[in-house]
Amino acid sequence: MKSAPNDPQLLLHYSQVLRRLGRAGEARQAIDKLKAAESKIEQPSSEAWAFDLYRQSPGEQRTRYIEALRRELVADPENPPLHLALASALLSESHTGEAVAELRSASRSSGDPAIQARCGRELLKAGHPAAAAEFLRSAAVATVPSDDLLYDLAVAEFHAAGAGEALAALDRIPEGKRSVEYYLLRAEILDASDRSAEAVAWLVKAQAFQCPGDARPEFYLEWSSMLLLHERGRDALEVLLLGEKAFPRQRELLLGEAVVNLSQGDSGAASRILAGLERQWPEWSRLHLVKGAILANRGNVPGALNAFKVTTTMAPAMAGAACYMAAALLHGNSVDREKWSGTAAELIGVEPNHPFCRLLAGTIAHSSEDYKAALLNLAPIVATHPRWKQGHIAMRDLYRALGRPLDAAREESAAKQASGPSLPEIGGPLAAAGLMGATLRIPSAAGAVR
């Protein structure tokens, strides 16, 4: 402040610090000084301002927007919509701590359960369900909660307090008002708690209900993905066809139908759907990911890798693309693995901690007799995914090569006891659910490897 006592930006932040310290009088003086400093700055015309904004990068525009909201809040600190807008902008920039502080200000200054629920939903939408619980609990206590609020609270409670609290929140919905969404979310919570038999029973019950009239395409994808994870492919297909009636020619649902057909061994039907999608959306990266899966399922590893490379060229950050490429390589024979070892190195660089990529690295190192590298890549798999059978099988084979029969026997026993699958076919239930791109609100235990 001494070096630039009239700098508007410094005065703005200085006033906020003073206000948080409870020094309201000094904060007002800083605001008066800020207003005086800004009045001396020549304001650009609206045309010049718009042109200047247009020249800025998206990141610079977001920063400028956040600064404008902060200035407005200095003048009107008890304005809940302004706090909500600033929190939303901060969440988009991954400033979660500051965003939560703004949401608390919005909740405190309004005292309105609807605002508290909205604060919780902002955090849910941004992927912070545990933080959302604080606001959703307050909203559910302050008013008679709506079904939507209780669904959101159940998701938040699962991450903040566990399955018991999540189910308790869900069961606050009266029996006569329980819809298909109730049964689906309950199944997700049970599945994530390793109660898969109960989860399947609730999924079956869900199919007796009509889908809600306001259901979005994502709802049908989530439901069918859950069914796929529990190897109920025909039921998953029925759900997607219901979705297509409600949303004709919706591309995500059509892609889901292709994936389910692939998982059921009908690659011909999957290919026909993909051909239609490719004519209309040739630039859609996820489409090429599924196309690669079909080629890998048919044993065409080079073709699969080319399709996966198209995917990562179009969408370099697409989650999971590298692991599917790794899985395609793992399905090839040893000659293929040697031929595509350069690609393997690329995949391992993209997602080094993904179990498929680590398994690929360990397998290649083992086949090259680089046992130290094989152990470095394979050991973390069994540590982080102890239920994944294929990790134990790979470690068993490595210990046999190293002449360590006792360790090999231990891994053989662990592989037999592992409840997770061995390496799935590209069209298997785990891989298929991942290829659909559906995001479950509660992480599936069955899909943990994915």
Per residue of the chain (450 residues), give pLDDT as tens: 555 565 656 666 666 666 666 677 776 777 677 666 555 544 444 454 454 555 667 777 788 888 888 888 888 888 899 999 999 999 988 899 999 999 999 999 888 999 999 999 999 888 898 899 999 999 999 988 998 899 999 999 998 888 899 999 999 999 888 888 888 899 889 888 878 888 888 888 887 776 666 568 888 888 888 888 788 888 889 989 988 988 888 999 999 999 898 888 888 898 999 999 999 999 898 888 888 888 877 778 788 888 888 888 887 767 567 777 777 777 665 556 566 667 767 777 767 777 777 887 888 888 888 999 899 989 988 888 787 788 899 999 999 999 999 999 999 999 888 755 554 455 556 566 667 766 666 665 444 332
Model pLDDT, residue 123: 93
Cβ pair 190, 440 in contact under 8 A: no
Q: Which DSSP state fits 424? A: P
57 contacts: CB under 8 Å, gap ≥ 6: none
CA distance 97 to 76: 21
Question: How many of the other CB atoms lie within 10 Å of CB of 159?
Answer: 18
125 contacts: CB under 8 Å, gap ≥ 6: none
Cβ pair 73, 103 in contact under 8 A: no
**58: exposed, middle or buried (Cβ count in 10 Å: 0-12, 13-18, 19+):** exposed
Map residue 153 onto helix, strand or coil.
helix
Q: What are phi and psi of 307, to 5 degrees?
A: -65, -40
Q: Which two tokens stand for residue 262?
A: 């692939």
Model pLDDT, residue 172: 94
Q: Which two tokens stand for residue 144?
A: 């008679």
Model pLDDT, residue 56: 62
CA distance 3 to 113: 45
218 contacts: CB under 8 Å, gap ≥ 6: 252, 438, 439
Model pLDDT, residue 398: 94
Model pLDDT, residue 418: 75
Cβ pair 325, 345 in contact under 8 A: no
Q: Distance from first CA to last CA of the chain, Å, rounded? A: 52
Give one word for 295, left, alpha or beta, with left for phi > 0 and alpha for psi -120 to 50.
alpha
Question: How many of the other CB atoms lie within 10 Å of CB of 90?
Answer: 22
Selection from 99, 110, 179, 177 nearest residue 132 by Cα: 99
Cβ pair 343, 325 in contact under 8 A: yes
Query: Could you tell me the pTM of the whole model?
Result: 0.66
Q: Which amino acid is at 330?
A: L
CA atoms within 13 A on the CB side of 413: 6
Model pLDDT, residue 104: 93
Cβ pair 97, 131 in contact under 8 A: no
